[in-house]
Amino acid sequence: MNGLAERFGERAQVTDSYGDTTIDVGPADWIELLTYVRDDLGYEFFDWLTGVDDPPDGFQIVAHVYNPAAGRRLLLRTRVLRDDPRLPSAVGVYRGANWHERETFEMFGVIFDDHPYLVPLLLPDGFEGHPLRKDFILAARVAKAWPGAKEPGESGHGAPSRRKTLPPGVPADWGPPDA
């Protein structure tokens, strides 16, 4: 990575994994890194951006960019805190980040400051919560009975039923009362 060490010094960590290069920076250096790899290193194609819930205290934001002239790709990562999940918007650097940031906002609750239109993209109006967070309760499995005649694993030959358990992360007092 020509010039990366001179530009970022200890603020950027470069690793290689399975032939791909990954660059990690703090949130304050996120836009500078995106701009640098686009303008100075030729990674002009923005492929995708997403979040990764990384308990207990934060989220990783990961962007994948590509240099078409060199045929090389980069993973760019930063980390935001769960208590204040904010990051500057990358839309000013890569216009293609628009929908990806909206999806990450909706699914993880990460706020992209200065995003031109940070509104829900996929979920229905009035949806509460962020469904890709690991602490999100999958209430649909609690509120709605299994649609089949039998629970998964039950057979019609008198085999013992599996123990009824709640999905992971569901509080014990959730759901309809036992009949």
Which domains does the chain carry? 4-113 (3.30.460.80), 137-174 (no CATH)
- Distance, in Å, from the CA atom of 30 to the CA atom of 44, rounded to the nearest integer, reads 16
- What is the per-residue pLDDT for 171? 75
pTM value is: 0.78
The pLDDT tens digits for 79-95 are 999 999 999 999 999 99
* Distance in angstroms (rounded) separating the CA atoms of residues 76 and 49: 9
DSSP three-state, residue 38? helix
**In angstroms, rounded to a whole number, what is the distance separating the alpha carbons of residues 176 and 26?**
45
CA nearest neighbour of 27 among 61, 75, 4: 61
CA distance 93 to 45: 11
Question: Quick check: 16 pLDDT over 90?
Answer: yes
Under a CB-based contact definition with an 8 Å cutoff, are residues 108 and 131 in contact? no
pLDDT 10s digits, 100-124: 999 999 999 999 999 999 999 999 8
β-pairing verdict for 111-113 and 86-88? parallel
Predicted pLDDT at 85: 97
96 has pLDDT over 70: yes
- pLDDT at residue number 139: 67
Closest by alpha carbon to 82, among 101, 62, 113, 61? 61
Q: What is the mean pLDDT of residues 21-39?
A: 97
Judged by average pLDDT, the poorest of 1-10, 47-56, 72-81, 133-142 is 133-142
Cα 18 from chain centre = 21
Q: Quote the tokens at residue 105.
A: 């906002």
Give the separation between CA 81 and CA 54, rounded to whole angstroms: 10
Comparing C-alpha atoms, which of 64, 54, 49 is closest to residue 101? 49
| pLDDT tier for residue 161 given thresholds of 50, 70 and 90 | low
Q: What is the pLDDT of residue 3?
A: 85
135's enclosing H/E stretch is none
Portion of the chain with pLDDT greater than 70, in percent: 79
